[in-house]
Amino acid sequence: MANIIYQTEGIILSGSDFGEADRIFTVFTEKFGKITAAAKSVRQMKSKLRCNLETFSLSRFGLLAGKSSGRPVWKIIDAEEIARKGKITSSPRNLALFSGFAGLLNRMVQGEEKNDFLWSELKNAYAILSEKTLGKEEAEELEISFLSGTLHNLGYMEKEKYASRRAAISAINNAIKESML
């Protein structure tokens, strides 16, 4: 029986070394939501996947589904970078903002489940942050929009128009506090 190779776009939220040359990645994907996937020998210099599996890369992935101890396990067998990180990693403000978004999704999203809204929000934030260095007010607006939309989508806060930026920030902070993060 042949294995099925699943193709999906995704953004690498984090990665950690495993074994001699392997890495385990947390990837937010278009088709499967947040997944954990392993890449074999990716830390070796000769690895063809090495350049396309950097933290915060937007890539198209080829994945194999498997099982280990009854749990689903994904293996990355192919990756092709779709968009350059651009200003995300070259601007400290943009990097801090996207790191915060990735950290929030890592903590808040549990299990594998497709979520079109979160994918759209994350990809939109990625596009904005990779294109230009944001000023302080632009960064705050993007952060409030992303956090309130994400927390509403995950059921932690009501979606409403706030009278001021301060009221929105207060609502976001209360939602995060109540989620016990």
Q: Say yes or no: 76 and 100 in one domain.
A: no
Q: Which of 58, 83, 108 is the last residue of a domain?
A: 83
* Token output for 111: 């299990």
Read off the pLDDT of residues 33-79 as tens digits, 9 standing for 90 and up. Answer: 999 998 888 888 888 887 788 889 999 999 998 776 666 689 999 99
Give the chain's domain count: 2
Query: Quick one: pLDDT at residue 1?
Result: 43
Query: Quick one: pLDDT at residue 2?
Result: 59
Mean pLDDT score, 3-27: 91
Q: Which of 83, 107, 140 is the last residue of a domain?
A: 83
What pTM does this model have?
0.89
Q: Say yes or no: 157 and 96 in one domain.
A: yes
Q: Which of 83, 100, 116 is the last residue of a domain?
A: 83
* Token output for 135: 């000023």
CB 159, CB 177: distance < 8 Å: no
Q: Say yes or no: 106 and 170 in one domain.
A: yes
Query: Quick one: pLDDT at residue 72?
Result: 65
DSSP 8-state assignment for residue 76: E
Q: DSSP per residue over 108-174, as a string?
A: H--S----HHHHHHHHHHHHHHHHS---HHHHHHHHHHHHHHHHHHTTSS-----SSHHHHHHHHHH
- Given its phi and psi angles, is residue 152 left (phi above 0), alpha (psi -120 to 50 degrees) or beta? alpha
Percent above pLDDT 90 for the chain: 55
Q: Which domain holds residue 173?
A: 87-178
Q: Say yes or no: 18 and 39 in one domain.
A: yes
Q: Say yes or no: 73 and 111 in one domain.
A: no
Query: Quick one: pLDDT at residue 44?
Result: 82
Q: Could you tell me the CATH number of the domain that includes residue 9?
A: 2.40.50.140
Read off the pLDDT of residues 120-149 as tens digits, 9 standing for 90 and up. Answer: 999 999 999 999 999 999 999 999 999 999
